[in-house]
Amino acid sequence: MTETADPLASTRRMAALINAFQTSAAIGAVATLGVADALASGPASPADVAARVGAEPLALERVLRALSEVGLFERLEDGRFALTPLGETLRSDVPGSVRRAAIIATDEWHWRPYGHLAHTLRTGEAGFRPAHGCGFWDYLERHPESAAMVDASMARIATARAAVFARAYDFGGLARIVDVGGGQGALLQHVLQAHPQLRGVVLERPGVIEGARAALAQAGLSDRCEVVVGDFFHAVPAGGEAYVLSWILHDWSDDDAVRILASCRAAMGTTGRLLVLELVLPPAGVPHLPTPAETLARTVDLEMLAVVGGRERTEPEFRALFARAGLALTRVLPLEGLPWSVIEATAA
């Protein structure tokens, strides 16, 4: 139906967009309570589900009814609710589960910065500071439960990315790889297991390093991987032939990203290489249908703007960023089946 035939079509569409936050909030609430897990064994009445998850039956029924309208649940003729394939993704025990992501995205501490988005547009400052009185990373250091949830979510994503990276990149001729800001060591686990000739180093902040040490020990890699506490703004371990920044730079402004890159440049000498794993935005002004990877990059870019204070970048923007740190972009290698790319650089 055209807008001429239905003059209110645009108004209805805009109203749906404005109220989309209600759906997000409802998804986060049922994810937090574990409703999908409670329905994993089959259809159940709202009262039964409420008893299993500790909810008020009528309130839960109203939310289940609303989410049935967007396809997460199916309301049966007898009044029971069943999971749909879409709703199955909120279970905690299925491959590709998004339950943790739904909880983080809609938790009050994460949601509040978006209420300051107009401030962000006026000033360029992420909404996190006016919402909480501190930056994103400072907040996580002060709130270990939230930090643990974020770290676990990032570790799951990192594992999928690391598995493809370990197969896709040619590590031939390398002996030592340094993962800068390597989290709990997922990337190096996959790379070292796939390439027995390699040894590794994980650099991380104090609050994360013990998790990395334990994970690498459990994987039987303690003798091939060193775990180092440090601050990538000041220095990274020297002596590596390849330095990896896996989804690190997008968390930071251009000036801060250059500081991180400069630390890597100082450590890698004239013969090392830098491998940056990031989403890559399409160049501006080139009309085309966006790919799923580009759509994700745009969504994450808003998250960086509103919450974290970083940004996603185009290939030319990465090239300019590298040049400021004394690096030259050599190639961009998309990871097959994933939205990330390996952006390779050497000393300029």
Same domain, 193 and 342: yes
> Is the residue at 233 inside a domain?
yes
CATH number at residue 225: 3.40.50.150
> Is the residue at 187 inside a domain?
yes
- Rounded CA-CA distance 159/179 in Å is 14
Same domain, 88 and 175: no
Q: Which among 41, 36, 150 has a CA at the least distance from the CA of 92?
A: 36
> Is the residue at 188 inside a domain?
yes
Give the domain range for residue 86.
9-95
Within 13 Å of residue 128, how many CA atoms lie on the same side as its CB? 19
Q: By the 8 A CB rule, do 80 and 86 touch? A: no
Same domain, 332 and 230: yes
Task: Return all residues near 316 (Cβ < 8 A) that are at least 6 apart.
Answer: 283
> Is the residue at 42 inside a domain?
yes
Options 110, 190, 195, 250, the catalytic residue: 250
The verdict on whether 250 is a catalytic residue reads: yes
Count of structural domains, the chain: 2
Same domain, 84 and 176: no
pTM > 0.85: yes or no: yes
Burial of 31 (0-12, 13-18, 19+ CB in 10 A): buried
Of the residues 75, 95, 115, which one is the last residue of a structural domain? 95
Residue 324, classed as helix, strand or coil, is helix
> Is the residue at 87 inside a domain?
yes
> Is the residue at 47 inside a domain?
yes
Each residue's pLDDT, cut to its tens digit, for the chain (348 residues) gives 455 578 799 999 999 999 999 999 999 999 999 999 999 999 999 999 999 999 999 999 999 999 999 999 999 999 999 999 999 999 999 988 999 999 999 999 999 999 999 999 999 999 999 999 999 999 998 999 998 888 888 888 888 899 999 999 999 999 999 999 998 899 999 999 999 999 999 999 887 888 889 999 999 999 999 999 999 999 999 999 999 999 999 999 999 999 999 999 999 989 999 999 999 998 877 667 788 888 889 999 999 999 999 999 999 999 999 999 999 999 999 999 999 999 999 999
Of the residues 95, 121, 140, which one is the last residue of a structural domain? 95
> Is the residue at 132 inside a domain?
no
Tokens of 2: 């055209």
Tokens of 47: 């009262």
> Is the residue at 134 inside a domain?
no
